[in-house]
Amino acid sequence: MVTYRGAQNYLPDTLDLLSLETAARGCRGCDLFKAAEQTVFGAGPADAGLMLVGEQPGNEEDLEGEPFVGPAGRLLDKALAAAGVERDAVYVTNAVKHFRFDRAAGGKRRIHKKPSGGQVTACRPWLAAELDVVRPDVVVCLGVTAARALIEKNFTLTAHRGEVLHLDEELRGTLDPRVVATIHPSAALRAHVDRTAAFESLVRDLQRAAGLL
Ligand code: SF4
């Protein structure tokens, strides 16, 4: 695994969301800043009780600079509405703040590429800082990358989806929110899955998480 310098040295002295977002724009903690358009930091109220953490920004998020504004984000909005969760009251972010992609052969299209373990680790100081500032009561990991960044390196959704868990010891510090892992909304958009069943299962997990508030 490639070892990166990590985001730690880019953290601001003042820990609030605006300072973090501003500082993250200049992060060079791993190589992902080189090809992406911009850092996509988390968004939402600093006093949110519920924090949702995805994997990384996608193509539209990278272009717009906002998390969860692409197809998966629109599906997440629908799932939150179906679960009775007010979208504007939730803080949403990603385990990795820059878009990792490959170029389609001969074309301009950018195809999502999963971030490496080293890149997730490099970016974790931003996630830890967001947790520290927002101090949510409940965290939902949307997909296994977020769950591995927050709960346990070898986490699997098949074994622990929907369970009420804790942050890993390193992140826990003085805060101990309940943590639930579910699928990433993009998993309910794939061609080969039963999309309705996947969407409904996501809604159920969001309802369960909101019920912990
Ligand atoms: S992905 Fe994270 S660690 Fe890497 S450059 Fe972007 S903000 Fe920094």
Give 181-197 pLDDT, tens digit per residue: 999 999 999 978 899 99
Task: Decide if 173 is inside a domain.
Answer: yes
Please give the average per-residue pLDDT across 74-87, as a whole number. 98
- How sure is the predictor about 174, in pLDDT bands with cuts at 50, 70 and 90? confident
Q: Mapped to the 3 state alphabet, what secondary structure does the chain carry?
A: CCCCCCCHHHCCCCCCHHHHHHHHCCCCCCHHHCCCCCCCCCECCCCCCEEEEECCCCHHHHHHCCCCCCHHHHHHHHHHHHCCCCHHHEEEEECCCCCCEEECCCCCCEEECCCCHHHHHHHHHHHHHHHHHHCCCEEEEECHHHHHHHCCCCCCHHHHCCCCECCCHHHHCCCCCEEEEECCHHHHCCCCCCHHHHHHHHHHHHHHHHCCC
The tally of domains found in the chain comes to 1
CATH number of the domain where residue 54 is located: 3.40.470.10
Q: How far is the CA of 121 from the centre of ligand 1 (A)?
A: 10
- Counting Cβ atoms within 10 Å, is residue 94 exposed (0-12), middle (13-18) or buried (19+)? buried
Task: Decide if 1 is inside a domain.
Answer: no
- Supply the range of the domain harboring residue 94: 7-210
Of ligand 1's listed atoms, the one at least distance from the Cα of 122 is 3
- Counting Cβ atoms within 10 Å, is residue 119 exposed (0-12), middle (13-18) or buried (19+)? buried
Helix axes 17-24, 117-134, angle to 10 degrees: 160
Q: How far is the CA of 13 from the centre of ligand 1 (A)?
A: 18
Task: Decide if 23 is inside a domain.
Answer: yes
pLDDT tens, position by position, 44-73: 999 999 999 999 999 999 999 999 999 999
Task: Decide if 2 is inside a domain.
Answer: no
pLDDT at position 64? 97
Q: How far is the CA of 72 from the centre of ligand 1 (A)?
A: 21
Q: How far is the CA of 85 from the centre of ligand 1 (A)?
A: 30
Task: Decide if 37 is inside a domain.
Answer: yes
Q: How far is the CA of 69 from the centre of ligand 1 (A)?
A: 19
Of ligand 1's listed atoms, the one at least distance from the Cα of 33 is 5
Task: Decide if 13 is inside a domain.
Answer: yes
Task: Decide if 165 is inside a domain.
Answer: yes
Other CB atoms within 10 A of residue 27 CB = 22
Task: Decide if 36 is inside a domain.
Answer: yes
In the structure, which protein residues have their CB atom closer than 6 angstroms to any atom of ligand 1? 7, 24, 27-30, 32-33, 39, 96-98, 119, 122-123, 126
Of ligand 1's listed atoms, the one at least distance from the Cα of 115 is 1
